[in-house]
Amino acid sequence: MPLTDVTEHVSCVRLVPLFGGLSAADQDAVGALARPTTLERGEAFGPATGRLAVVHRGQVKVSRLSASGHERVLRLAGPGDFVGEGSFLTGEAPSYLIEAAAPTRMCVFSRADLAPLIASHPSVAMAMLRSLTQRLDDAEHRLSLASTSRPARIAGYLLDQPGSAEESGYRVRLPMAKKDTASLLGMTPESFSRGLDALRSKGLIATSGAEITLRDVDALEELAAG
């Protein structure tokens, strides 16, 4: 592996909280095990059994296919996040799909290389457990919103997005295509569009492509809270 790749993957290891409890020397050792992987937007990452991938730059979409063949978006993973942990931990074939939502670079580790380090460094296992617990909490939260109205679900999602305060309101940007956002929220693209229209007609938001201005944050928070 070229020196530039080694340096970049050591940086990747130091970025992700998963390896934050390791010493600098151990982080360097982990970085030397990383396999560089780059993806263009829309390119799939076929995670072989037992591989763990840490996102260094960019963003990937994690999804599943239903029995009817419909894609259901589970989450987005950005810099510092990791994917493939299910297959990595169980040694079973992955049941999910990973696709780059933007040009992406990842550090990929094999189970054979990384498992001994996890066994000897409990902090790595605990960090992985914390991350998985947070994902479970997020999934339960989305399930709890399933019975709420479309506008309420959309309002809650928009309020969770990072953005910037402007004179016209708080501006956020949808991190993925509207059809994928709809899937994440358990809606069809048409339902998602109607929900946005409902918020816009009430003067709560303004839209311009993927950018959305939250004009009345207080009202959106009240709506999201049910």
Sheet of strand 71-77, all strands in order from the earlier edge strand to the far edge: 44-45, 97-100, 60-65, 71-77
Pick the CATH number of 3-138 from 2.60.120.10, 3.10.310.40, 1.10.10.350, 3.30.70.920: 2.60.120.10
Averaged pLDDT for residues 79-100 = 84
Predicted confidence band of residue 36 (pLDDT cuts 50, 70, 90): confident
Any idea which of 95-104, 119-128, 182-191, 202-211 has the lowest mean pLDDT? 119-128
Answering whether pTM is above 0.85, one says no
132-191 residue pLDDT tens:
787 777 777 666 666 678 888 899 889 988 889 998 899 999 988 899 999 888 889 999
Q: Is pLDDT above 60 for 6?
A: no
**Residue 2 structure tokens:** 């070229």
CATH topology agreement for domains 3-138 and 150-224? no
Give the Cα separation of 156 and 62 in Å (integer): 21
Q: Show Cβ contacts of residue 132 under 8 Å, excluding neighbours closer than 6 positions.
A: 85
Give residue 203's pLDDT: 95
Which CATH number is 150-224 given?
1.10.10.10
Q: Tell me, what's the pLDDT at 198?
A: 93
Mean pLDDT of 92-101: 86
| Mean pLDDT, range 13-34, rounded to an integer | 81
According to DSSP, residue 148 is labeled S
What mean pLDDT, rounded, does the chain reach?
A: 84
List all residues 6 or more positions away from 62 whose beta carbon is below 8 Å from its beta carbon: 73, 74, 75, 76, 77, 83, 96, 97, 98
pLDDT at 147: 61
Domain ranges of the chain: 3-138, 150-224
Q: Please tell me the predicted confidence (pLDDT) of residue 191.
A: 92
CA distance 20 to 11: 12
